[in-house]
Amino acid sequence: MHFKGLTKEAAGKVNAGLFLTDGSLIDRTKSMFESSGLQVNVAKKVNGSGMLSDNSSQELGELGLVVYDLSQQRDLIPAARELVERCRSDAAVVVIGRENDVGLYRELRMLGVGEYFTHPAEIDDLLLSARRLTGLAGTERGQGRFTTIYGVQAGVGSGVITAGLSVFLSQEYGRDVVALDADLASPTVGNYLGADVPGDIGILLEAGERLDHVLVRQAIQKPSERLGLLHGLASMGDELLVEPQAVARLGRVLDSQYRYQLWRCHGASVLRAKVLNSSDVVIMVTGGSLACVRSAQMTLRFLNDHNPAARLITIYNHVSPHQSIPPLALAKSLGLTLSYVVPYFKKLGDDLVTGTSFVSKGHSFYKVLVQLTKEVMGQTSPTGRSNLKGSR
């Protein structure tokens, strides 16, 4: 038995129940769930040590989403089986337990448990899973959940900006972030984040229906506590066999684990169309060459035709001291206002995690990253023309 989630028509009408062992977290968890569009009908403290109480059966049978802490159970599997049996057949069930074991996770999934977390579970993690299981995850546009840092040409700084933005979001604001490099020919994000060995993003993209949370967790590298990294390097002549929905499928799996997904991509990447189609925010990075102008124009036309709801942020980066097309001329040719202009800086590569010059106030990218991070988080008004419709 596998829970597949509620339909989008049912999302927002789900009656949720929170059964937690930590009474101090109940009010806060309920508040966060309700502010995110989930209606909490039951929120109560449970001791978690014995079998489920008989008086909970009626409550469970009326709920479409159940978050239950079973961390004090001596034998989790029988307790989880009983919990699933008492819930509605179409209910989404999230279980909290003590053991961190892949085999246990898969056995719980076979019982019908939608997601499993070890105690103590972060409220953000519970909320993200609840939204995914009820069909609410990914329904908002422009919220930064799937952000693409798109370099119109190789070498304009998309890798540096992806790495820097991921560091600012995870270390300065404590958000759970995953940085993904969709350029398998020349990945750079991992280098900036201190990961010397290429990862397995190609395997995840080719997994098809076999893709699940277990595979993703095995592939993700962790440069720091709240920062995940997925990248890879394809050998010369290798052809990546990626289904049309591969990027969107991976994005949905990551959506339950990370608040922000930052996908680095550029105009020569074979995945560019799939990544841009899935984005709710596109940060387009360009230089001042004629090739950049042409690629940027094609990118804007593609977004207008295929993903007009995406929020657009534009960055002009001086990759050399003398650009053939200055920022104002490029903006005029594209018919939009540039969000940010980065001055020329001869050194782009720094070890971001250990806090070198890149994240110091004297670095040319610092001011841009500070404002860009706030804009992605929705803490500032969008700069320039943020929506594609009518921007040209």
- How many angstroms separate the CA atoms of 387 and 392, rounded? 10
Name the residue with higher pLDDT: 35 or 273.
Answer: 273
Q: 337 is written with which tokens?
A: 């206002």
Non-local CB neighbours of 2 within 8 Å, separated by 6+ positions: 109, 110, 112
**Range of lowest pLDDT (82-86, 162-166, 234-238, 320-324):** 234-238
Cis peptide bond N-terminal to 120, omega within 30: yes
pLDDT exceeds cutoff 50 at 297: yes
Portion of the chain with pLDDT greater than 70, in percent: 80
Give the domain ranges of the chain: 15-133, 146-377
Per DSSP, helices labelled H in 142-200 are 158-167, 189-192
Count CB neighbours of 8 within 10 A.
12
**Of 195, 189, 264, which is closest to residue 223 (Cα–Cα)?**
195
Q: Binning pLDDT at 50, 70 and 90, where does residue 5 land?
A: very low
Arithmetic mean of pLDDT, 303-329: 89
Q: 59 is written with which tokens?
A: 């409550």
Q: 49 is written with which tokens?
A: 């040590």
pLDDT exceeds cutoff 70 at 54: no
Is the pTM higher than 0.95? Answer: no
Q: Which residues pair with 92 in a beta bridge?
A: 65
Which amino acid is located at 386 in the chain?
S
- How many angstroms separate the CA atoms of 97 and 116, rounded? 7
349-375: pLDDT as tens digits: 444 444 445 566 666 778 888 889 888
Q: 249 is written with which tokens?
A: 């499928």
Give backbone dihedrals phi and psi of 70, rounded to 5 degrees, phi first: -110, 30
Arithmetic mean of pLDDT, 338-359: 63
- Taking a C-beta distance cutoff of 8 angstroms, is the pair 48, 71 a contact? yes
Q: Binning pLDDT at 50, 70 and 90, where does residue 392 land?
A: very low
Give the fold, CATH level 3, of 146-377.
Rossmann fold (3.40.50)
- How many angstroms separate the CA atoms of 230 and 212, rounded? 15
Which CATH superfamily is 15-133 part of? Response regulator (3.40.50.2300)
